[in-house]
Amino acid sequence: MSPAGLLRVEGLVAGYSAADEVLKGVDFGVDASEIVGIIGPNGAGKSTLLKTIAGLLRPGRGSVRMNGADIGGRPPRDISMMGLAYVPQENNIFPTMTVRENLEMGGYIDPKGSRRKIDAAFAQFPLLAQRRKVAARSLSGGERQVLAMAMALMVEPTLLLLDEPSAGLSPLAADALFEQIVAVNRGGVAIAMVEQNAREALAIAHRAYILVDGRNHRDGPAAALAADPDIKHIFLGG
């Protein structure tokens, strides 16, 4: 882990009850303007890590710092106002609302700036602009994930947390979504991404962490991990 950066997690212990420690002392970090992948087997604590960083779970022990400020255990709204946005795997849009109304909900923290941000979102994601008046439930799976990401970007974050963005998508839709994620990152937003498609995650990430049983297993440059024979055999299916 590099000594300075946007997000620093050290010795994080967290779970869904005092007796349920899913994370058992995890270290994790994200530097400005990079994509960091988080991969590992089911039950490794990947989603728990994101939820704890985003304030949905309270740390039992350890620290979570963003730009040097301790955010561990702070309310999600406060964390969001500090420049962090979180996109959960499920229930991440309002299906009965239109695309535009979803973006308005995403900008609830700054309603006065909502119009400008929505215009920027439509410029960045033309497919949403084309469907701005339709109910979000009519979107394809990939389009819904793009909408969820666009909603999160309404708070103009410096760090975006994505939990399994390609889950349930066809390979073609997943490829298109990963292109959008890379484009968002090139716009200056750092991204921490839990992803079931480990091979694709390593292909677009700058660095990556592998979690196993709530603990750090390996971390380093994504390309180096992808080329490691042991990692390829155990985590990449070949």
Mean pLDDT for the stretch of residues 219-228: 95
Return the minimum-mean-pLDDT range out of 14-18, 33-37, 156-160. Answer: 14-18
Mean pLDDT for the stretch of residues 207-232: 95
- 3-state SS, 7-65, equals EEEEEEEEEEECCEEEEEEEEEEECCCCEEEEECCCCCCHHHHHHHHCCCCCCCEEEEE
Return the minimum-mean-pLDDT range out of 1-10, 169-178, 227-236. Answer: 1-10
Decide if pLDDT at 238 tops 60. Answer: no
CATH class (in words) of the domain with range 7-83+157-235: alpha beta
Mean pLDDT for the stretch of residues 86-105: 95
What tens digit of pLDDT does each residue of 40-69 get?
A: 999 999 999 999 999 999 999 999 999 999
| pTM for this model (two decimals) | 0.93
The vertex-101 CA angle with 193 and 133, nearest 5°, equals: 105
Query: In the structure encoding, which two tokens stand for residue 101, read together?
Result: 């109304």
- φ/ψ (deg, to 5) at 117: -70, -35
The reported pLDDT for the residue numbered 236 is 78
Nearest to 148 by CA among 38, 45, 168: 168
Q: What percent of the chain is predicted at pLDDT more than 70? A: 97
The reported pLDDT for the residue numbered 23 is 98
